[in-house]
Amino acid sequence: MAKDPICGMYVDEKSAEFKATVRGTTYYFCSHTCMREFLAPEVEIRKLKIAVAVGGILTILIIILTYAAFLPMRINNYVLFVLDTPIQFYFGLRFYHGTYDAIRNRMGNMDSLIALGTSVAWGYSTVVTFFPSLLSYTAVFYDTAAAIVTLILAGRYLEHLSKGRASEAVRKLMNLQPKLAHVLRNDKEIEIPVEQIEVGDVFVVRPGEKVPVDGVVAEGHSSIDQSMITGESIPVEKNVGNEVIGGTINKTGLLKVKATKVGQDTTLSQIVKLVEEAQIGKAPIQKIADRVAAYFVPFVTIVAIASALSWYFIGNIGLQFSLLVFVSVTVIACPCALGVATPAALLVGTSKGAQNGILIKGGDYLEIARKVTAVVFDKTGTLTVGKPSVTDVVPIGKIDSDNIVRLSASVERGSEHPLAEAIEKEASARSLVVVEPSEFEAIPGKGVKAKVQEKTVVLGNRKLIAEMSVNLEIEEKITSLEEEGKTLMFLVLNGALAGVIAAADTLKEHSKETIEELKKMGIDVIMLTGDNERTARSIAGILGIERVFAEVLPQQKEAVIQKLQNEGKIVAMVGDGINDAPALAKADVGIAIGSGTDVAKETGGIVLVKEDLRDVVIAIKLSKATVRKIKQNLFWAFMYNGALIPIAAGALVPFFGAQVYNVFPFLAAGAMAFSSVTVIINSLLLERFKA
Amino acid sequence: MNEDKTKDKGVEKARIVVSVSDINCVVCAKAIQKQVMKINGIKNVEPAIMLNKVFVDYDPKLVDSSTIKKAIDKTGFRSYMTIRENQQSPDKPQN
């Protein structure tokens, strides 16, 4: 079963009457109408191709005949008329269509300028051809009219192709989702289109297959290549209860997965949506360009008429020259390059980000991200893992450290306290056998007590040993561990202190590297945490962070951001999208880290799919690279339009004489035709950005 | 920005994404925007030139997608495919 890409109906491939292959993929349609609609853009490209080819041949013939002029003048003109008229009105028909639409919408567009310029050239030449006695000139400009139409069409053709290339990144993301899924219904495995999976369905993913939609592993274990969604190159282990993302590839084992998100809600759909919607959140830079573009056509028309009239009446250079100036001005100007300058770079930049698990929600965030002067990190869960783990085990007396861990883990058995989990993890890391305690009893405010293998074991905090005598050496050890910001637990065995276990939140793998990199970029790094000053300082010290805001309540985080902003800093806040949401929203750029499959819910202008802090640096770098591209694009666009208009209007006459303008309309058409293409191709260079 | 696409003062808001035959210039995009904005019940119209798509935020109680499509067609562009999202109205996808 395949899905009709237009109406969404399911079509059986075997009996499908309507199908089309576009760039290697075969699509099936329910009806001729759907197929025609789908193929419209393709048909357009083909039409343009034919127009450029045929128009090109005719234009070359026209140019040869114009300059070689081996036929008598009158006859030559008739031949040129016959050759040019189809170009003007058949291949150039689209420009008249466009002009008609422009008039109806009461807005000048590019088509109207081209239609105006070429019509003047063609019309004038036609008058000369058929009524030579009306004018004292004999030269015709069929070559100019023909060359303009053909060059502009060639430009449009290339623009189509390059635009397609630029939006390919988005399409590539969408194509990650497989078309079919194996779903278990009544214990039988059936094959259905991905669109028909419902939340709660259990589907089977074999090694080598793609996961169809987001879900939770219900049975089996495997490793999954998530690089296409998160950018991480190493496959991730998945066991029962772990989340899997649609579009990722199952590498090793068979998995049974329960669908949790389908259709528009899958991570993949959300990512595509974010990249697309980033196109419409307008970057301030683009608003200026758009405003310029809106007044462009009337402005250019006025310039064209004014310069032609001035040259004719004041400059007295003659009708022919004035005409060429008029045509040059109308044809050279093109707001299109201005219009695509920002969206083209933005699209390539945001797609590049998406491929690396960095989702930028709009052009405005991108533009601020590059200016960031301070990055604020939430400590717990962002710079650190967010869960304590055992760092030190101090045995006291004859007992060894393994036994301390084993006894502690046994006492805490079944407890869900984070510290208990840390000890349990340590025990399994040391492959110790944990036993079931008996006579379990809690000592309020102090700890827990139980019998483990006939021994009375008590595990608790400092208060537990308050009245015990501890020798000086041990006391010093305890104090130094506390100063490192660690949480301590004391094991009392048969009434005497037998050992100390220290636990602390550990740093994430790339925390230090990221902070060093940010500092190198000249960005202030600041830590924000609800933890006590001592713990915060100790972590900050390891990471090389000088400025720390400790003991900040969740609702105060926002105020800290405000304070930094008042200092004149442009602040990026990095945190998890749920607890730090207000602070993320307050910051100039909120960067939500480790969203996993919840990309849509996250607050913040930038969402990092994986929990890798280095992505913060990459996001800032990508934003710099993208904005640099936008600026280059705008420079080119303004060059094409701003600088070339005076030249087209006759500014070169004092330097090179009026003769230059015999060929200038060709150059003008060329410049216009390729202006947007230049800008789009320049944007495509962003694909080489290295994460 | 497109953040508040849910509810604003109890007024329902839906978004429709219309694919449009090649929008090749900003001025044309503006024409589409102008034409669609004229319809009662339209909140926001954002053309995306690079994607050849137009994002329209509207109140489903006042306008339906076919009116929007018609308005776009009127500007001389062919809107050839619609993708629905965030719809609060219960109408079925077209076949």
Look at residue B24 in the predicted model and tell me its pLDDT: 67
Instruction: Specify which residues A606 forms β-bridges with.
Output: A360, A591
Catalytic annotation present for A612: no
Min Cα–Cα distance to chain A from B10, Å: 22
pLDDT 10s digits, A135-157:
777 788 899 999 999 999 998 89
In what helix (H) or strand (E) does residue A642 lie, and over which residues does it extend? none
Summarize the confidence of residues A68-75 as an average pLDDT.
Answer: 82
Task: Provide the pLDDT for residue A520.
Answer: 95
Chain A, chain B: beta-carbon pairs less than 8 Å apart: 118
Structure tokens at A204: 């089977």
CA nearest to A485, candidates A434, A540, A439, A436: A540
Task: Determine the pLDDT at residue A207.
Answer: 92
ipTM of the assembly?
0.76
Q: What's the 3-state SS for A63-122?
A: HHHHHHCCCCHHHHHHHHHHHHHHHHHHHCHHHHHHHHHHHHCCCCCHHHHHHHHHHHHH
Nearest chain B residue to A297 by CA: give it.
Answer: B27
- Is residue A164 scored above 70 in pLDDT? yes
CB A304 within 8 A of CB A330: yes
CB contact A195 to B (< 8 Å): no
Q: What is the per-residue pLDDT for B3?
A: 36
| CB A221, CB A253: distance < 8 Å | yes
Most confident of A173-187, A613-627, A641-655: A613-627
**Nearest-CB residue to B28 (from A100, A109, A167):** A109
Chain A residue with minimal CA distance to B1?
A281
A610 — pLDDT class (breaks 50, 70, 90): confident
pLDDT score for B81: 54
Kindly give the interhelix angle for A110-130 and A73-86, rounded to the nearest 10 degrees. Answer: 150
Spell out which residues of chain A touch residue B51, defining contact as CB-CB under 8 Å: 167, 170, 276, 279, 347
CB < 8 Å to A364, chain B: 1
- The residue among B5, B17, B26 with the most chain A CBs within 10 A of its CB, best to mutate, is B26
Best mean pLDDT range from A7-21, A305-319, B5-19: A305-319
Does the pLDDT value for residue A294 go beyond 70?
Answer: yes
Q: Mean per-residue pLDDT for A83-108?
A: 88
Instruction: Note the pLDDT of residue A123.
Output: 94
Beta-ladder partners of A249: A210, A225
The model's confidence at residue A92, banded by pLDDT at 50, 70 and 90, is: very high
**Which of B49, B55, B75 shows the shortest C-beta gap to A340?**
B49
Euclidean distance between CA atoms B59 and B46, whole angstroms: 15
Find the mean pLDDT for residues A447-451. 86
| Residues in a beta bridge with A223 | A237
pLDDT tens for residues B61-73?
888 888 888 888 8
Lowest mean pLDDT among A481-490, A510-519, A520-529, A622-631: A481-490
Tell whether B49 lies on the interface with A, counting CB pairs under 8 A: yes
Structure tokens at A20: 């089309």
* Portion of chain A with pLDDT greater than 90, in percent: 32
Q: B50 and A343: CB-CB below 8 Å?
A: yes
Q: What is the pTM of this model?
A: 0.81
Diameter over CA atoms, chain B: 37
For chain A, say whether B6 makes contact (Cβ under 8 Å).
Answer: no
Cβ-defined contact of B85 to A166 (cutoff 8 Å): no
Q: Does residue A615 have a pLDDT over 90?
A: yes
- Find, in chain A, the residue whose alpha carbon is nearest to that of B15: A277
**What was the pLDDT predicted at A437?**
84
The per-residue pLDDT of chain A, averaged, comes to 86
pLDDT of residue B89: 35
- Token pair listed for B34: 């102008």
User: Using 50, 70 and 90 to split pLDDT, how confident is the model at B94?
Assistant: very low
pLDDT(B4) > 50: no
Which chain B residue's Cα is nearest to A159? B24
Residue A599 makes CB contacts below 8 A (sequence gap 6+) with A267, A270, A271, A274, A359, A607, A609
